[in-house]
Amino acid sequence: MGSLTELRPVPLPTVYGFLRGTLCDSPARHAALRKALSVYCQDRELALTDVFTDDSGDAAGAAFTTLLDALSDSGGYGVVLPSPAHLGPAHQADARRARIVRTGAHILTLRSPAPAAVSSGRPPSHAGAQAPKILSGARDRATEAVPCPLW
C-alpha cells in the first residue's frame, strides 16, 4: 500500500508580490506592505517567492517586465497585490492585468476594490442596493473585515 498523500511533501503554489513604488511613500510603509503580502501568503499556504516594486510609473517598467518573466519561467500560480491600485492608474492597470492573465497566472489581492468602484447598475447610496461580491485571494474571506491603515 502506498503512503498517504497527507504524509508526502507537497510544494506550495508559487506567487510573486507586486508593489507600485508611488504608493510606498516611505521605507516603513514599503516594509509593512511586504509584510502584509507575506502574512497573506502564509495564511493561504502560498509560497511568496519574490516581491517586485515598480518605481518607474511606466506600463512596461523593469519591475513589471521582470515579474512577467518570472511568471513565464516558473509557471507561477499568481501575483499578489495589496490592492488593485498597485497595478497602476486605470489606463495602465487594464493593460497590466491583461498581460498577467495571458501568462496563465491569477491575480490575488489582499484588499478588493471599494464597492462603489464596482458597477452594480445602481448608485452606491441606493437603499437596499448590494454591491456584487468580490472574491479576493485563494480563499475568500468576504465575511471577515480586517481594518488595516496601510492601504
Domain 11-114, CATH 3.40.50.2300 — does that match? yes
CB 96 within 8 A of CB 87: yes
Of 144, 24, 132, 143, nearest to 82 by C-alpha is: 24
Domain boundaries, the chain: 11-114
**3-state secondary structure (DSSP) of residue 146:** coil
pTM for the full model?
A: 0.69
**pLDDT digits (tens), the chain, 151 positions:** 565 556 777 788 999 999 998 888 899 999 999 999 999 999 999 999 999 999 876 667 889 999 999 999 988 999 999 999 999 888 889 999 999 999 999 999 998 665 544 444 434 443 343 333 333 444 443 333 334 444 4
